[in-house]
Amino acid sequence: MEQKLRQEAKALLEQGKVDWIIGFAPGSLKFTTTPLITQDKDDAEQLVINPFITNNLANFLTEIKGRVGIVAKGCESRSIVSLIQDNKVARENLVILAVPCPGIIDLAKIERLVGKDRDELDDITRDGDRVSVKVDGKKKEFPIAQVLFDHCLACELPTPQEYDIILGEPRLPAPELKVSGQSIASLKEMTPAERWASWENELSRCIRCYACRNVCPACFCQRCFVEETEPQWTLPMPHWQDNLIFQIIRNIHVAGRCTDCGECERVCPVNIPLRSLTREMYDIVGELFQFKSGMDKDALPLMVHYEQEEAEDFFR
Amino acid sequence: MNKKVSKKDIAQLLKTWSQQFNVLAPSRDSGVAAMAEWDGKDTSFLDWYRNTVVPPKASFLPPMEAMFRFRKDEEGYQIEPPAKNGQKQLLFGIRPCDARAMAILDMTFEDAYKDPYYLEKRKKAVLVGLGCTNPCESCFCTSMGTSPTDPTNVDLMLIDIGDHFFIEEVTAKGKELIAKTSGLKEATKNDEAEAEKARETAYNKVSRKLDTEGIKDNLLESFDDEDFWEKVAAKCISCGICTLLCPTCYCFDINDELVKGEGTRFRSWDSCGFSLYTKMPMENPRQEKWRRVRQKVCHKYEFYPMAFDVIACTGCGRCIRLCPVNWDITQVIESVPARVKGAK
């Protein structure tokens, strides 16, 4: 798969079919990758596909000018389609290199399972439905349901639907909704007062680094509402109540655009379980509007159109 | 003669110090590793602690801090200073990289303008360092003028020698504290030798290296190399992780919280990575991402050395570990065009 990707990417640049390639290169730390954004055909040799290609590369599309060849997992392809729906990128300017994705390994879960930090592990390898972790010379095996990201366990589209070149055999979805929905389920079991207290606790840690927003392909506003001063919707300092307002409004803004790629939660440096908000919104959108974001590039974006026959009981 | 303390007695030691200080120690209770008020019993951090995610600067320059309250009445504005927290902080377990960062922050906060909010807390505080035994893959302290067991910027330095911590008394403040602390044992010659061994072992475990020789001039020379800066900035997402959680970054924003004629003025962490940071009525000199990335790099490796003759980076590695896209400062420094050219 990697060899094919490198050849295709190199050819696309050589033949002038694209100006840019966006993919993944090896990262500088163990078990990491880093986004590779390049115009140089020789850089194609650095491209990798492995269980650690975490970033949602669609995030870079709105700031790059020209034609782009982009590596896309299922979630990325949905973010790309969503951006096309919103007229943020043009389909004809893209060459989508589809990666049928078997799910990405959540290093935080492995750290909890083996009681060591990621840089203390010797090796992590995946073989089918099992992941083995080598630590202190010993091998420990885990089923993938224990070590993939929650959003990967809920994935409905491992293989992009919208693509130009496919790298490997398509994979069918095999969601593990029960496992992936555990943290949301436990929140739902709480009383409203307990849930409020829980979010107060979680959001009190927020430092307003805005990584959740900046890593999100659906957060493409030129100017975020938190940066408005007239009126000032929320203060820029990290009062937990202001942090809550920020997250609630962000969630409403990305409703119908969020593809549950899980990046917001992954990048949060202070471990706020943000996917519990985004996935819940994703499910609400599905339930209320029978809408799944990023599935059909010709469909109108959810929040910008309205049909006469839409039931008014929506305004409850 | 140096002292030592048994690891079993750390809780007792912290209890003793709690009578005199507000003792802060590494904790994950809030959901993220940070220095937090010690709960009076838990010393489990001795097992898991490598470094905190939130740097100890937060104890002196909090993410958000009330500067004063104000009220408007018939006579005009009435200003009310914030309630003073007279308590002295004792930070137990600060790492040498972060202690050096505090010394670097002091230079700014004690410069032309003496910042009362920071200095009030800082001058009264005691820093008890804990030498690293297990540096992270992202650590590069030994390239940045310090080391995993460097005692330079703490009052007391503890070195792991097995069942005990060897105590180095560094400053007068530290010596005084030890003199007043009962229950400590005398360290033997053998303990001293063990401490020396521990220092060397830890030093050799720091595998990431960065050559900073001449970097200030290299950056000056490559300042206008727009192609280079655009390239290194390409994958940056302009979030605030690497700056807000940097132990030497100190920028803050000031905002008023207003409720009908009265309110509070707060300051809170800000980042040069944000495009709004330099926005002025007429223009924004750092509208483009590459200019902001350049600012971040140059402030640490060029401007701070110009102003204070020290690089404002201590190799703690947080910016590398926590970056959402693995933007790695050591790779960027190594690839500065004037540097690459010079190496040839």
Residue-wise pLDDT tens digits, B273-315: 998 888 888 888 899 999 999 999 999 999 999 999 999 999 9
Q: What is the pLDDT of residue B261?
A: 86
Helix B116-124 × helix B96-109 angle, to 10°: 140
CA distances from A291 to A100, A220, A245, A287 (A): 23, 20, 25, 8
Q: What is the pLDDT of residue B246?
A: 98
Which of A215, A266, A271 comes nearest B237 by C-beta?
A215
Pick the CATH number of A105-147 from 3.10.450, 3.30.1460, 3.40.50, 3.10.620: 3.10.450
Which of B30, B266, B324 comes nearest A237 by C-beta?
B266
Is residue A200 very low, low, confident or very high in pLDDT (cuts 50, 70, 90)?
A: very high
Average pLDDT, chain A: 95
Q: Are A160 and A98 in contact (CB under 8 A)?
A: yes
Q: Which residues lie closer than 8 Å to B118 by C-beta, 6 or more apart?
A: B60, B61, B105, B109
For every residue of B85-148, DSSP letters joined together read: --PPEEEEEE-HHHHHHHHHHHHHHTSSS--HHHHHHHHH-EEEEE--SS--TT--GGGTT--T
Enter the pTM of the model: 0.96
Q: Are B182 and B202 in contact (CB under 8 A)?
A: no
Contact B241 A35 (CB under 8 A): no
Nearest C-alpha in B relative to A206: B63
Is residue A311 very low, low, confident or very high in pLDDT (cuts 50, 70, 90)?
A: low
Contact B324 A270 (CB under 8 A): no
Which residues of A are less than 8 Å from B326 in CB distance? Answer: 27-29, 32-34
By residue count, chain A amounts to 316
Q: Where are the domains of chain B?
A: 3-205, 215-343
For chains A and B, CB pairs below 8 A equal 112
CA distances from B286 to B9, B181, B206, B272 (A): 53, 52, 35, 9
Contact A117 B325 (CB under 8 A): no
Contact B239 A207 (CB under 8 A): no
The distance of A229 to chain B (nearest Cα, Å) reads 11
Share of chain A above pLDDT 70, in %: 97
Q: What is the pLDDT of residue B342?
A: 77
Share of chain A above pLDDT 90, in %: 91
Nearest C-alpha in A relative to B241: A209
Nearest C-alpha in A relative to B28: A270
Could you give the CA distance from residue B98 to residue A15 in angstroms, rounded to a whole number? 51
Is residue A310 very low, low, confident or very high in pLDDT (cuts 50, 70, 90)?
A: low
Which of A117, A205, A210 comes nearest B240 by C-beta?
A210
Interface probe for B, chosen from A118, A203, A237 (most Cβ of B below 10 Å), is: A237
By residue count, chain B amounts to 344
Q: Which residues lie closer than 8 Å to B259 by C-beta, 6 or more apart?
A: none
Q: What is the pLDDT of residue B86?
A: 73
Contact A238 B268 (CB under 8 A): yes
- The two tokens of residue B100 are 């050096």
DSSP state of B299: I
Could you give the CA distance from residue A252 to residue A218 in angstroms, rounded to a whole number? 11
Interface probe for A, chosen from B51, B136, B228, B235 (most Cβ of A below 10 Å), is: B235
Q: What is the pLDDT of residue B83?
A: 78
The distance of A270 to chain B (nearest Cα, Å) reads 5
For every residue of B212-274, DSSP letters joined together read: -TTHHHHHHHTTT-HHHHHHHHTT----SHHHHT-TT---EEEEEEEETTEEEEEEEE--TTS
Q: What is the pLDDT of residue A316?
A: 47
Could you give the CA distance from residue A69 to residue B146 in angstroms, rounded to a whole number? 44
Could you give the CA distance from residue B262 to residue B269 in angstroms, rounded to a whole number? 23
The distance of B263 to chain A (nearest Cα, Å) reads 13
**Would you say the C-alpha torsion B43, B46, B49, B52 has a positive or negative sign?**
positive
Which residues of B are less than 8 Å from A33 in CB distance? Answer: 326
Checking if the pLDDT of A272 tops 70, the result is yes
SS3 A138: strand
All residue ranges of chain B with pLDDT < 70 are 344
Interface probe for A, chosen from B325, B330, B334, B335 (most Cβ of A below 10 Å), is: B325
Which of B32, B330, B331 comes nearest A270 by C-beta?
B32
Helix A275-289 × helix A240-253 angle, to 10°: 40
Residue-wise pLDDT tens digits, A122-145: 999 999 999 999 999 999 999 999
Q: Where are the domains of chain A?
A: 2-104+148-314, 105-147
Residue-wise pLDDT tens digits, A211-244: 999 999 999 998 899 988 888 899 989 999 999 9
Contact A29 B137 (CB under 8 A): yes
Contact B239 A267 (CB under 8 A): yes
